[in-house]
Amino acid sequence: MTALRQKMIDLMSFRNFSPRTHEAYLHAVIRLANYYHRSPEKITEEEVHLWLMHIFLDQHLAPASVHQAANGVKFLYHQVLGLEDFLIKISLPKRPQKIPALLTRQEVKTIIQSTRNLKHYAMLSLCYGCGLRLGEVIAVQVSALDTSNLRLKVVQGTNSRLFRRR
């Protein structure tokens, strides 16, 4: 492992980034370095712009993926290498506006009841009933349940949240 990569990992750990952010940011920097066949320290701002255009236009990555890659590269240059002015004027593809498809109560009931596995049934019910993300559902532990007050404490969410049964 290079010193630069270790420094990036240490800074992400210090800032308490999630494991998925670690993975995504490191992957973006590795892809950038592999694309130009040299260390990110020697890649210019113009080359980073060209690479971002390449992954969007040629590799057909979604705008959200390009934004994530840009954020990973920005983290490297701003926080790890201390180049504050690097990539300040970067322009990224616009994210499409999507209106989410809403399910009816009957459709939700059908989905939840379609599983034969009790664990999956509980996870789907918890996800829908509390509005949890997948990562939050997976992280729920028995100790987070307060059955006497009908509460659930979600610890690994964006913020810790407390849910009460209504």
Residue ranges covered by each domain of the chain:
3-80, 105-164
What pLDDT, in 10s, does the model give residues 12-59? 999 999 999 999 999 999 999 999 999 999 999 999 999 999 999 999
Taking the C-alpha atoms of residue 12 and residue 126, their distance in angstroms, rounded to an integer, is 31
Phi-psi region of 29 (alpha: psi -120 to 50; beta: other; left: phi over 0): alpha
Length reported for the chain: 166
Model confidence pTM above 0.85: no
Taking the C-alpha atoms of residue 63 and residue 53, their distance in angstroms, rounded to an integer, is 11
Taking the C-alpha atoms of residue 48 and residue 63, their distance in angstroms, rounded to an integer, is 16
Query: Which helix (H) or strand (E) covers residue 12, if one does?
Result: helix 3-14
What pLDDT, in 10s, does the model give residues 58-111? 999 999 999 999 999 999 999 999 988 887 777 788 888 888 888 899 999 999
Query: Percentage of the chain with pLDDT > 90?
Result: 61
Q: How many Cα atoms are found within 13 Å in the side-chain-facing hemisphere of 76?
A: 29
Positive or negative torsion for Cα 47, 43, 79, 134:
positive
Task: Please state the CATH superfamily assignment of the domain spanning residues 3-80 in this structure.
Answer: Tyrosine recombinase, N-terminal domain (1.10.150.130)
Nearest to 41 by CA among 99, 91, 80, 96: 80
